Chains A and B, each alone.
Chain A
C-alpha cells in the first residue's frame, strides 16, 4: 500500500487494540468513543488531502528512500522548499479543521531521529541510521500515523532524571537482552496518542553520562504489551458526548486529543531502537525536534486563526457592529497577529539548512521566535475575538433548552440580532468562537512544542550578545579618542 485514504486510516484503527482508559472506563474501540472521534476526523483529513488533487501538491511528497509518492507527514525534508511546503500544508489543513490535526509531532520526531541517528553512527560506529531508514520505509509504505512521544512527566524539576526518587518519572531502559530492550516510565500530553499506530519515543532533555539509561529513542506500536494510555480531560468533554450545536466545532474538536502514555517494561526489539545510552546526543535530538516542531506553529495556527478571524468578522456582521471603526481596526489587528506567525514560519523554513545526514532543518533561532510569538499572539487574537463577539459568548443557553418546545422559541426570539439572520447562525458562530478560545485550546498554544521559557533558552543561546555588543561599540566608536581628550580614563 502507498498512501491511505481517510477511510482506510479509520479502518486501520480497528485493526489495532491499544489499552486505553478515559473517565474511569476502559475504551475498547477508539472508533466508537465520541470523545475521540473529532481527533480521528482531523487526522483522517491529513490522509484524504494527500489524495485530493486540490491539496496533494502540499500534502504529498516523493520519498527520497524509495522514490514513491508518500504522505508528506512521513517525509524527511530534502530542501528548504520542503520545509516551506510543510508550513503551507499545515495552514491549508488548519483552515479546514480549525483544530489540531496531530500528525506533525511524529513527523518532526522522525526528521529529528533521521539526522541524529546518522550523527551517532558517525561518531560511535553504530547502525542506528540504517535501522531508522528501514523503519521510515515501513512508515512511509504503510502510511502510518506516529506520535512524537518526547515529554516526560519530569517529577521534581530541580533534579536530573537519575536523581529522581522514582526512576520512572523519565522513560528509561530497565533491561535488555539479545533481542531488544525493555523500557518503563511515562510520557505526558502526547498528541493523537490514542488514534495513532505507534509512538516514537525520544528523550526529553540533555543528559549526563550517568543518565545513560534515559538516553532512549525507539518505536513502540500502540498495542504493545505493557503500554497504557490514559486520555486527558478537555473543557468540552461533556459536549462531545451529548451535544452537537454546543460543541461549536463538532467535527474536529478543539485540540489534538492528548493522553498520558505509560510504559511498564515494554519490550522494544533492537530493529526499533534508535538511541540506547548515547547521552551526548540526547540534547541535540531534543533541539532538532523542538526546532522542527516550533517551525510549524505559524502554519497551523495561522490556518486555525483564519477560521477564528472569519467567525469574528461574521459575528460582527450578524450583530451589526461591523461598521464600527474600532471593530474593523481590531479585525485588522487579528490578521496582523496571525500573518506575523505565518511570516515567522515561512522565514525559518526558507532559511533552513542541511544537516550531515542530508536532510534539512529549519533555522533554529527563527523557529523558536515563531513559537514564542505563538504563546502571545494566539492569546491576543482570542482576546480580540472575545472583545468583538461580546459577553453572550460566555452566557448562551444550551442546545437542550433550544430544543425544548416551550423554551426554544423564547431563546430564539431573544438571541436574535439582525432581523434577517436566524438566531441559530449567531449561536453557532458564538459556540465556534467559544470552543476555539475559551478552554483547552489556548493552553495548547502556550505549551505545545515546549513552554515559552524553553524557547527563550534556545533564543538566548543563539543570540550572540557579544557580537551585538561589538557592533554597538563599533558604531559608538568606543575606544577611539574623544574630541579634546587626550585619552580615556
Chain B
C-alpha cells in the first residue's frame, strides 16, 4: 500500500480498441488499482479540469489523438501499443511503466 496520497484528477481515454496490439483493459485495470492505492480520482475525459490525461491506444497508430483531445489537460501520458510517451516498452512491462510515468507526472499536478 503506498504511503503517499495524491490529490489529483486523472482522466482516462481509450482509443476504441478496433484491433489492439496490446490489452488496453488490463492497463486500465492497473490504472484503477494505482488510483485506489494513491487515492487520486480517475475520471472520464468528459469530466472538467483533469490534471493529467492518460490515453491508452491499442496500437502505435494512436489515431484517437486529436488536438482537441490533447487540450483537455495540461499534462498527457500516452500509451500507444508498446510505447509510453514515445519510449518503447515491452507489453509485459507496460503496467509498471505506466505507473512509474504517472507518478513522475503527478506530484506537480497535486491540487
Q: Is the CB of A55 within 8 A of B19?
A: no
A306 within 8 A of B: yes
* Bound CA–CA A85/B17 (angstroms): 11
A91 within 8 A of B: yes
What is the chain B residue whose CB lies nearest that of A346?
A: B18
* Bound CA–CA A385/B47 (angstroms): 46
What is the chain B residue whose CB lies nearest that of A96?
A: B17
CB < 8 Å neighbour of B18 from A53, A56, A88 = A88
Q: Is the CB of B28 within 8 A of A53?
A: yes
What is the chain B residue whose CB lies nearest that of A85?
A: B16
A-side contacts of B24, CB under 8 Å:
54
Q: Is the CB of B16 within 8 A of A53?
A: no
Tell me how far the C-beta of B74 lies from the nearest C-beta in chain A, rounded to whole angstroms: 22
Q: Is the CB of A53 within 8 A of B44?
A: yes
Q: Is the CB of B16 within 8 A of A88?
A: yes
B64 within 8 A of A: yes
Q: Is the CB of B19 within 8 A of A95?
A: yes
B15 within 8 A of A: yes
Q: Is the CB of B19 within 8 A of A58?
A: no
Number of interface residues of A (CB under 8 A): 18
Q: Is the CB of A54 within 8 A of B19?
A: no
* Bound CA–CA A56/B45 (angstroms): 12
A92 within 8 A of B: yes
Beyond A54-B24, A57-B64, whether A92 also contacts B17 by CB under 8 A is yes
B12 within 8 A of A: yes
Q: Is the CB of A54 within 8 A of B17?
A: yes
* Bound CA–CA A54/B13 (angstroms): 8
* Bound CA–CA A441/B104 (angstroms): 51
30 contacts between A and B (CB under 8 A): A53-B12, A53-B14, A54-B14, A54-B16, A54-B17, A54-B24, A54-B25, A55-B16, A55-B17, A56-B14, A56-B16, A57-B13, A57-B15, A57-B16, A57-B64, A58-B16, A58-B17, A58-B18, A59-B16, A87-B18, A88-B16, A88-B18, A88-B19, A91-B18, A91-B19, A92-B17, A92-B18, A303-B19, A306-B19, A342-B19
Q: Which residues of A contact B (CB under 8 A)?
A: 53-59, 85, 87-89, 91-92, 95, 302-303, 306, 342
Beyond the given A53-B44, A57-B13, A58-B17, please list 10 additional residue pairs across the A-B interface where CB-CB is below 8 A.
Answer: A55-B17, A56-B16, A57-B15, A57-B16, A59-B16, A89-B16, A91-B19, A92-B17, A302-B19, A306-B19
Q: Which residues of B contact A (CB under 8 A)?
A: 12-19, 24-25, 28, 44, 64
